[in-house]
Amino acid sequence: MKKTILITGASSGFGLMLANKLHKEGFNVIGTSRQPEKYARSVPFKLLRLDIDDDSSIQTFTQELFAYTKHLDVLVNNAGYMVTGIAEETPMELGRQQFETNFWGTVKVTNALLPYFRKQKSGRIITVSSIVARIGPPNLSYYTASKHAVQGYFKSLRFELNQFNIKVSMVEPVWFKTNLGNHAVAATNGSIADYNTYRKLVNAATQKGIDEAESPDAVVCTITRLIEAKEPKFSNPVGKMSRMILFLQNHAPKMFESAILKSVNTAK
């Protein structure tokens, strides 16, 4: 029996690439989008409406999902977005909205599906996080915090779900060429003069990371391997230098921090 895989945020970026790849490989793929009618004719897989910020949308989606399919093997939590900006300059409400989507939205969708996974005593939950959750670079304080919260939540959850044969994994990409960076929400209000020079440098460094990003194929392949792995690992950093970055942070923190500062100060 072919596996049924649910991918949130499947109308663009990692989610769309993954959904297309898995569909071609013969999996039963179900994607979600806030505007499925906008994309349904251009994708070969089923696309359901879901706004992970909206409790009623999650409830309606869950009903529609199990009206469409009686079997679900894998949940890929991919939906989310990025807030950029100097921490002190970022309005609290913008930070709350970041958490509402990246953390609470992800948790709510997962919790809506857990009763089904528990009942069948099997399942996989794969959540797309980010390498920034592990390292905390400048200009991404709320995005980093939201992804760090997601990491912590699922790190605990994996122990609780082990008794039900539900496997939990995180995917932690570096910068990749998707629309995440280009569609980021920038904090533009309340500029503080003391940060004027630094802001220009750090914005340039952030843009450089986006411009020089790798193709997202490696992320899609990593998620595909986790779907098929007998014992999938919890933590899965992906991308050029990702493991070296984590090694330096853990074993040579001064060198790591100097490299981060240098990347900002030399950005143009």
Q: DSSP letters of 53-88? A: T-HHHHHHHHHHHHHH-S---EEEE-----EEB-GG
**CA dist., res. 141 & res. 174, Å (int):** 16
Handedness of CA 235, 236, 238, 243 (dihedral sign): positive
Is 143 one of the catalytic residues?
yes
Cβ-contact 84, 143 below 8 angstroms: yes
**CA dist., res. 30 & res. 72, Å (int):** 10
Helix (H), strand (E) at residue 38: helix 36-39
**CA dist., res. 28 & res. 228, Å (int):** 14
Per the residue annotation, which of 39, 81, 143, 153 is the catalytic one? 143
Q: Tokens in use for 100?
A: 């509402």
Could you list the active site residues?
Answer: 143
